Homo-oligomer: A and B are copies of this chain.
Amino acid sequence: MLEDKNPHRTQLSELGEFKLIEHLTQNFSITQKSTIKGIGDDAAVLSFKNKQIVITTDLLVEGVHFDLSYVPLKHLGYKAVIVNLSDVYAMNAIAKQITVSIAVSNRFPVEALEELYAGIETAAKIYNIDVVGGDTTSSTSGLIISVTAIGEVEEGNEVLRSGAKPNDLLVVTGDVGGAYMGLQVLEREKEVFKVNPNNQPDLSMYAYIVERQLKPEARKDIVELLEKLEVKPTSMIDISDGLSSEIIHLCKQSNVGVALYENKIPLDPQVISTCEEFDIDSTTIALNGGEDYELLMTISQEDHPKIKGNPNLTVIGYITDQNNGMYLVTRAEQKIPIIAKGWNALTS
């Protein structure tokens, strides 16, 4: 909704590929012991001694994953890093390095990419990671961002999706549904803006959910908390596609069933009020919303005392035998099968 009023626009071709990378990454310093050589050679060199590494990658495509009419480039850069770090933390690992590649059309001036990289730099500083490589090229249309994240984990400390056992507790961090409702608010404001470009929206009453959409955080703190509490989850996954979709992944890969309690699902009051305003069922949003980047895990019953009462961790159900199936137990005590309606980047 904000026009770029910056009068200074440097064409990408003025710099060329090598100078552009150099220019965009000049502020990126190496802070991690495991980074031996960062940007500037054919490849980065990393050393993790006896630790295992985890590696994950995500592609963000303009018009599919983000809409630049309301996503500031700095936030986009930040979010592109976060979505990858979230996958690293979901392995119970600590992120250490990322590589960032972008394909960009000529409609973006250098100053726009500087904004994008400022967001990447901010995320790197806050999450204590090094940017060690990448690629910058032109695209025939729009902006594409590809991030790969590398993390480290002691051998045997990694948590896969496949370890859930019957009677384990199903636990979620934070609250869910906020990012999706934030998107609904932004989409509505975009429509208003089309009709009246002079309208300056007041989004203050939606501050939390809009921030959940535009500038999500990854739960590094949870990996640290679990270590402190001496809890190793039996399985873990990050919530990018929606709670129900991720629960199904965990159950299928662990060959178990689940009972999920509707009244236990943590919702922020702003999610509830905005759902009422939009006349949408908040449980539907919590189950299918996506992009929350919280962690979903299962923990052994015997670890329950260690997490009980922790405001970051909510028990929302328990694991059952696979034959029992995957069910949502509603407030009215009805059992409804859990179905994945998660956001699908290939059909949306």
Contact = CB atoms under 8 A, between A and B. Distances in A.
A91 B142 CA distance: 33
A88 interface: yes
Interface stretch (A49-57, A197-205, A267-275): A49-57
A16 B56 CA distance: 20
Nearest to A343: B17
Interface string A145-165: 010111101010010111000
A87 interface: yes
Interface string A42-79: 11111111101111111101111100000000000000
A141 B138 contact: no
A132 B91 CA distance: 15
A57 B136 contact: no
A88 B12 CA distance: 28
Nearest to A47: B52
Contacts of A344: 16-17
Contact of A42 (B63, B91, B348): B91
Contact of A238 (B12, B42, B47, B144): B42
A56 B141 CA distance: 25
Given A16-B346, A101-B57, A137 B36 contact: no
A44 B37 contact: no
Contacts of A41: 91, 160-162, 253
A20 interface: yes
A227 interface: no
A160 B150 CA distance: 21
Given A43-B88, A44-B54, A140 B346 contact: no
Given A36-B52, A99-B57, A132-B55, A90 B146 contact: no
A20 B347 CA distance: 12
Nearest to A56: B43
A139 interface: yes
A237 interface: yes
Interface in A81-131: 87-88, 90-91, 93, 97, 99, 101-103
23 contacts: A16-B347, A17-B346, A20-B346, A40-B161, A41-B91, A42-B88, A42-B237, A42-B238, A48-B48, A57-B135, A57-B146, A57-B148, A58-B135, A59-B135, A59-B146, A61-B139, A61-B144, A62-B140, A64-B139, A64-B140, A99-B148, A103-B144, A137-B345
